[in-house]
Structure 1
Amino acid sequence: MSLAGLSDEGWAMSETLRLLLALLDLGPRLKDLLGDKWPTYSDELLELAGRAGRGDDPAELRRTLDALVQRLLAETPAAELVRRAMQPAAPTISTETVVRRGRVPLPSQVVRPSTDDVTGIVTIPVFYGTDRARGGDAPASYYTGRRGEPAFGVAEVSVPTRGRDLGELTGPSWWRLEFSADPAKHVILKAVQPLGQDVFTPTLKDSLATADERDVLVFVHGYNVSFEDAARRAAQISVDLKFAGRTLLYSWASAADPKQYAVDEGTIEWSRDHFEAFLQLALTEIGAREVHVIAHSMGNRALINTLERATSWQLPAGAATLCQVVFAAPDIDRDRFVQLAAKFKGSARRCTLYASSRDVALMASKFVHGYPRAGEAGEALLVVDGVDTIDASLVDTSLVGLHHSYFGSKRSILNDMFSLIVQRLAPDQRFDLQAAGDALRKYWNYRS
């Protein structure tokens, strides 16, 4: 499928993201050219990147970006550079992937997944740990973007299994004239039940004992994510992977505001001890056989700092195995990842890094920090011993399907994660991957 085959909306968003990525990449040069005027433009570009990552109205994003570009074109020193960035790129051609997925029979209780075969809706219990402050009583506002004390509970999320693409985190959109959530179309956080740790642990243990597989999947979200969206994403990933164990979420106190990147950076560092305790609980206290972890974007900072210390943990006999660890588009300094990878080698059965040259959040992070991120592809692609690196630039690294149709591919890294986590296949056994690089720097990419 080429970009020419996209809908008008898809084509417009493709061009919007392409131009936004180009401007972010030009950040250092624009800063030199614009001097004191640059901070205002910088803030506006970062806010646009955050809105694009949330999947805001494509038409409104384009209007805002167009207005910003017109102002930049009026800045004589930067005008020629911006004009070059506006030149359209050649269409990207890729193929769709078909994944063989078996039906997973699921028990039906409040703390167990349930299915409605008539409506095509799966209800997933997401067992969570969080260090967010309490908010209101409604599920969507139950936890805020402020820091709080560690807390536990179960979030109940419904996920439609029909009419939704793999990886798509559907929700009502005013620009589609959808003003209320429809369980048959949208992923919905239905309820939040807080539990003290003394109740949470045995509840999760009992639920896991009834699962088809005694495995757990731990999801750690990235920057600019609310508790509501984190729970919805965790459930959506679980359903799309047909995961037969139990789904866990660690939701650190992201401000869920694209303008609060620096605040989120401080909070993820503050959260790492809380996440480490949550991961140890999953490994040692709930009767799990294997624990898999998926961290996305900035959430990788908590994961990688925990793995650095994991090799020194004294886990009790019978503890679970830390099996598949997935670094999805990690927003962490590339050189820092290299340092830590040497320390956490051997802490998990397999570590996999998905990199992309077209991830808007990573480009925004590089724009802020001035150094490559570990999740970048292209010239900065990171290959280290003990980690399988996959250049996923041809597919969607957002985990939740926000961008894949905009770039002409309906594939997501979730396709490959199914083979990795559920089927336990090495990269050379996964049909959609092909080896690249050389003997000293071997990595994998998607077949085009």
Structure 2
Amino acid sequence: MHLVAVFSLCMGVLGCAGLPKGVLTPVQAIVPGSSRVNLLVATTRAPTSDPGVLFSGERGQGLQTTEITVSIPPEENRQVGQVQWPKRLPPDPSTEFATTKVKTLSDLSEIRGWLNQHLPHSRRVLIFVHGFNNRYEEAVYRFAQIVHDSHADVAPILFTWPSRANVLDYAYDRESTNYSRTQLEEVLRRAAQDPSVGDVTVMAHSMGSWLVTEALRQMAIRDGRVAPKIRNVILASPDLDIDVFRRQSQELGLPRPKLTLFVSQDDQALSVSRLIGGDVDRLGQINPAVEPYRAELERAGVTVLDLTALKSGDPLNHGKFAESPEVVRLLGERLVAGQTISGDKTSVGNRLEAVAAGAAQTVGSAASLLIQPR
């Protein structure tokens, strides 16, 4: 069983092994119909001398911030939910993602200037934290894809922590999330305390969910509660020990942010994580319709989207939240805006064919939604 699981995980990683390195060197990309996504990227990674890589998987000293603009190909040349990686360098901006701007922001005044320039009328900020086995440029391009495809009305901020992007470095990556807790708390605090910001949504994938919950827990312990402007937390395929998560969530103080989970029982990456972690259920792999989870989620007011029935191009079923066109649109149109999806009869809800289950009709209860394929 262990060998089969590890082999499956390695096969998933090999699918990314051919991705080109050095894609962050800016190029001219004036292509009719293309789009631009401008990101603020904060990192605890160590810098490199390669301008196409910028930051390695090793741990750096302090927090460094960069403004990066990514060009997205015209809609007719791409599929929603996918990152069109360059086949070779320099990239072809008409059919591939390309970097068009990289600027180091060296002080708080420059960071505030970026926020003032990119904060939309909604005054909403979205902070994304990636998961295990991600290079810096992979996190940048994936978040740019999510922001573009979701049409989220936000100022997008990426927090990227030191991952060696190696399947055998799971323990190193996990310790790197602990290494980065205080710096993520700092980013969250800055955003929440900025008077121009109306509210903050935090979204994390996989192992990044551990980092987010730990940073929020640390903030709550320090201040007595999570900052009021941090109203929504979205955990996609969270690689969290279910017992540890119970304790973390209890220590977030009151009132807590609204929590939404994306889970999938066929997530093979989390099956491996469960084996490594002592055979304890992972939060991102639970069945929210069965006990004790159903009652616990209802009491906590947690919204759970069960994506098990959705199929994706990811053989590990670990990235459905970003690859499904329906789900990324749901993120932009509803969840990032803090809106409920229970009993959703909008166009998004109709596309998802989401059916509320159990106690989802009760005000304040958990909404357990089964997301069905079209």
TM-score (norm 2): 0.79
- The residue number in structure 2 matching 1:239 is 148
- The residue number in structure 1 matching 2:22 is none
**Correspondence list, 1:179-328, <5 A:** 181-208=91-118, 211-285=120-194, 287-312=196-221, 314=223, 321-328=229-236
Q: 2:303 aligns with which of 374, 388, 395?
A: 388
Q: Size of the alignment, in residue pairs?
A: 340
The structure 1 segments of at least 4 consecutive aligned residues displaced by more than 6 Å after TM superposition are: none
Contact kept? 1:297, 1:331, Cα under 8 Å = yes
Q: What secondary structure, in the 3-state scheme, does the structure 2 residue paired with 1:182 have?
A: coil
Distance of 2:110 and 2:292 partners within structure 1:
41
Shift of 1:161: 4.0
Q: 1:50 aligns with which of 13, 24, 34?
A: 13
Shift of 1:180: 5.2
- The residue number in structure 1 matching 2:56 is 144
Contact kept? 2:122, 2:153, Cα under 8 Å = yes
Q: What secondary structure, in the 3-state scheme, does the structure 2 residue paired with 1:303 have?
A: helix
Contact kept? 2:312, 2:324, Cα under 8 Å = no
Q: 1:434 aligns with which of 352, 355, 359?
A: 355
Shift of 1:260: 1.1
Contact kept? 1:252, 1:271, Cα under 8 Å = yes
Distance of 2:151 and 2:280 partners within structure 1:
37
- The residue number in structure 2 matching 1:425 is 339
Residue by residue over 1:101-143, the C-alpha shift from the partner in whole angstroms, topping out at 9 and shown as x without a partner, is xxxxxxxxxxxxxx97x6221122110110000112323x110
Shift of 1:55: 8.0
Distance of 2:94 and 2:316 partners within structure 1:
19
Residues 1:193 and 1:133: Cα distance change in structure 2 (over 3 Å): same
Distance of 1:55 and 1:380 partners within structure 2:
40
Which structure has the larger Rg over C-alpha atoms? 1
Q: What secondary structure, in the 3-state scheme, does the structure 2 residue paired with 1:428 have?
A: coil
Distance of 2:6 and 2:102 partners within structure 1:
35
Residues 1:323 and 1:405: Cα distance change in structure 2 (over 3 Å): closer
Contact kept? 1:390, 1:444, Cα under 8 Å = yes
Shift of 1:424: 4.0
Distance of 2:78 and 2:234 partners within structure 1:
24
- Alignment-mate amino acid for residue 211 of structure 2: A
Contact kept? 1:329, 1:353, Cα under 8 Å = yes
Q: 2:69 aligns with which of 143, 156, 172?
A: 156
Distance of 1:147 and 1:279 partners within structure 2:
20
Residue by residue over 1:284-314, the C-alpha shift from the partner in whole angstroms, topping out at 9 and shown as x without a partner, is 1362111111100000011111222344565
Shift of 1:169: 1.3
- Alignment-mate amino acid for residue 390 of structure 1: L
Residues 1:413 and 1:292: Cα distance change in structure 2 (over 3 Å): same
Distance of 1:194 and 1:402 partners within structure 2:
35
Contact kept? 1:166, 1:412, Cα under 8 Å = no
Residue by residue over 1:27-86, the C-alpha shift from the partner in whole angstroms, topping out at 9 and shown as x without a partner, is 3xxxxxxxxxx6xx776554334335x4869xxxxxxxxxxxxxxxxxxxxxxxxxxxxx
Distance of 2:142 and 2:89 partners within structure 1:
20
- The residue number in structure 2 matching 1:363 is 271
Distance of 1:339 and 1:266 partners within structure 2:
19
Distance of 2:115 and 2:106 partners within structure 1:
14
Distance of 1:345 and 1:388 partners within structure 2:
18
Distance of 1:405 and 1:363 partners within structure 2:
14
Contact kept? 1:146, 1:253, Cα under 8 Å = yes
**Correspondence list, 1:17-32, <5 A:** 26-27=1-2
Which ranges of structure 1 fall in alignment gaps of 5 or more residues?
Answer: 1-25, 28-37, 58-114
Shift of 1:349: 4.4
- The residue number in structure 1 matching 2:25 is none
Q: What secondary structure, in the 3-state scheme, does the structure 1 residue paired with 2:166 have?
A: coil
Shift of 1:152: 1.0
- The residue number in structure 2 matching 1:128 is 41
Distance of 1:321 and 1:51 partners within structure 2:
40
Shift of 1:443: 1.6
Q: 2:82 aligns with which of 145, 168, 183?
A: 168
- Alignment-mate amino acid for residue 48 of structure 1: M
Residues 1:206 and 1:419: Cα distance change in structure 2 (over 3 Å): closer
Shift of 1:360: 2.9
Normalized per residue, which structure has more helix? 1
Contact kept? 2:150, 2:330, Cα under 8 Å = no
Residues 1:226 and 1:410: Cα distance change in structure 2 (over 3 Å): closer
The more displaced of 220-229 and 303-312 is 303-312
Contact kept? 2:270, 2:284, Cα under 8 Å = yes
Q: What secondary structure, in the 3-state scheme, does the structure 2 residue paired with 1:306 have?
A: helix
